[in-house]
Structure 1
Amino acid sequence: MIFKALKTVKTAVLGLCISAGLIGFSAQAENIDYLSAINSDLNASPLTFSKGELRWAKVGDLRPTQALIGYDQVNYKLGRYQAEPKKMYEEICESYGAGEKKVKWSEQSSPLKPGSFNCPLAIGSEAAEMKTAIVGPDGHLYLTDGHHTFSTFIDMENGGAQMPVLIKIQDNWSASESDTIEQAMSQFWQRLAQTNNSWQFTASGEAISYVNMPTTLGQDSLANQAFRALVYFARDISWVKKQAEAINFLEFHWGYELAKSISVDEQRLVEQAYYLSKIEEVAKQMLAYAPEQAIASSGRSAKQLGQKAAWDNNSDKTLQQLVCGSKKGRLGKLGFALSYKQPGVSLECN
Structure 2
Amino acid sequence: MASRRRAALLGILALVSVVSTSMGGVATAGPARTASPLCQVADLLPSGSSSGLGYQCAEAGELLDLPIGDVRATQPSLGYDEVYYKLGRYTLGKDEINKKFDDWCEANGQEEAASASPGARLDNPSSFTCTVPVGQETPDTIAPMKTVVIGPGGVPYLTDGHHTLTSFYETADGGPNLHLRLRVVANLSDLSPTDFWARMKAEKWVWNY
- With normalisation by structure 2, the TM-score equals 0.69
CA distance in 2, matches of 1:168, 1:43: 22
CA distance in 1, matches of 2:169, 2:194: 27
Give 2:204's aligned residue: 196
Residue 135 of structure 1 and its aligned partner are, at CA, apart by: 0.4
Give 1:115's aligned residue: 126
Alignment CA distance shift 1:43-1:54 (3 Å): farther
Give 2:157's aligned residue: 142
Could you give the per-residue CA deviations for residues 44-65 of structure 1, whole angstroms, max 9, x where no partner exists? 7310010001111111111011
Alignment CA distance shift 1:94-1:65 (3 Å): same
CA distance in 2, matches of 1:56, 1:114: 13
Query: Is 1:91 matched up with 2:106?
Result: no
CA distance in 2, matches of 1:145, 1:43: 26
Aligned-residue CA RMSD (Å)? 1.8
Q: Which letter maps to 1:142?
A: Y
Q: Which letter maps to 2:193?
A: M
CA distance in 1, matches of 2:52, 2:146: 21
Residue 158 of structure 1 and its aligned partner are, at CA, apart by: 1.5
Mapping for residues 51-130 of structure 1, pairs under 5 Å? 51-84=60-93, 86-100=98-112, 103-123=114-134, 124-125=137-138, 126-130=141-145
Query: Does the aligned pair in 2 maintain the 1:138–1:185 contact within 8 Å?
Result: no
Alignment CA distance shift 1:43-1:167 (3 Å): farther
Residue 190 of structure 1 and its aligned partner are, at CA, apart by: 1.4
Query: Does the aligned pair in 2 maintain the 1:59–1:164 contact within 8 Å?
Result: yes
CA distance in 1, matches of 2:67, 2:207: 22
Query: Does the aligned pair in 1 maintain the 2:53–2:153 contact within 8 Å?
Result: no
Query: Does the aligned pair in 1 maintain the 2:54–2:153 contact within 8 Å?
Result: no
Structure 1 spans left out of the alignment, 5+ residues? 1-41, 177-183, 202-350
CA distance in 2, matches of 1:108, 1:148: 25
Give 1:166's aligned residue: 181
Query: Does the aligned pair in 1 maintain the 2:60–2:185 contact within 8 Å?
Result: yes
Runs of 4+ in 1 over 2 A off after TM superposition: 42-45, 122-125
Query: Does the aligned pair in 1 maintain the 2:53–2:154 contact within 8 Å?
Result: no
Could you give the per-residue CA deviations for residues 286-339 of structure 1, whole angstroms, max 9, x where no partner exists? xxxxxxxxxxxxxxxxxxxxxxxxxxxxxxxxxxxxxxxxxxxxxxxxxxxxxx
CA distance in 2, matches of 1:51, 1:116: 31
Could you give the per-residue CA deviations for residues 244-278 of structure 1, whole angstroms, max 9, x where no partner exists? xxxxxxxxxxxxxxxxxxxxxxxxxxxxxxxxxxx
Query: Does the aligned pair in 2 maintain the 1:58–1:164 contact within 8 Å?
Result: yes
CA distance in 2, matches of 1:133, 1:65: 10
Mapping for residues 172-183 of structure 1, pairs under 5 Å? 172-176=187-191
Q: Between Structure 1 and Structure 2, which shows a larger proportion of strand residues? A: 2
**Which structure has the higher relative contact order (CA within 8 Å, separation 6+)?**
2
- With normalisation by structure 1, the TM-score equals 0.42
Mapping for residues 19-30 of structure 1, pairs under 5 Å? none
Could you give the per-residue CA deviations for residues 100-120 of structure 1, whole angstroms, max 9, x where no partner exists? 15x211123211122221101
CA distance in 2, matches of 1:137, 1:75: 33
Query: Does the aligned pair in 1 maintain the 2:123–2:179 contact within 8 Å?
Result: yes
Give 2:42's aligned residue: none
Task: State percent identity of aligned pairs.
Answer: 34
Highest CA radius of gyration, 1 or 2?
1
